[in-house]
Amino acid sequence: MHSGSKYYMCRLCDQGFDQIHVLRSHAACHADPVTRMYSCPWCHKTFDNYGTARRHARAFHSQTYTCADCGKTFPRPDKLKLHRLRHSTHREFMCETCGRQFKRKVTLRRLYILADPLSGGWKKGDHGELVMGVYSLSP
């Protein structure tokens, strides 16, 4: 646990810490002693708590990740990865019941929730599409 690696970074000053509770204690040094407001070191915008100031710094003043297809930028690589699915035709997740395919696992899970057997399960609609209750699951 105390290997010297700096896993927790302060986004307001880029100082690293090996334990989260040390970062939380450090956060107090960024607050104005009188107003208890946190100021962005780049644009001097003020925030009433450290978390909001940290999110602001990460979103507006740190490294951004740009989509090669459309040029849109994101503050985190996971947000770019999620966005890039919009440009992809690859559908990795398939429903074993109806064969529909999805780009995101969460969309497949939503389909399974709609098709919950406790609510009647899958039924054929008037036009041959799979339906469950009032929800149509046709493409």
pLDDT single digits (tens) 7-36:
788 888 878 888 989 998 999 999 998 999
* AA letter at 5: S
**Could you tell me the pLDDT band of residue 107, with boundaries at 50, 70 and 90?**
confident
φ and ψ of 44, to 5 deg: 65, 15
Average pLDDT over residues 67-94: 88
**Separation between Cα atoms, residue 68 and residue 97, nearest integer Å:** 36
Name residue 94's beta-bridge partners: 101
Record the tokens describing residue 108, joined without a space: 């497949």
User: pTM of the full predicted structure?
Assistant: 0.43
**Could you tell me the pLDDT band of residue 114, with boundaries at 50, 70 and 90?**
low
Q: Is pLDDT at 136 greater than 50 in this prediction?
A: no
> What local confidence, expressed as pLDDT, does residue 45 receive?
94
Q: Is pLDDT at 134 greater than 60 in this prediction?
A: no
Closest CA to 96 of 118, 112, 114, 113: 112
| Max avg pLDDT among 1-5, 33-37, 107-111, 135-139 | 33-37
Domains of the chain in start order, with CATH, are: 8-61 (3.30.160), 93-136 (no CATH)
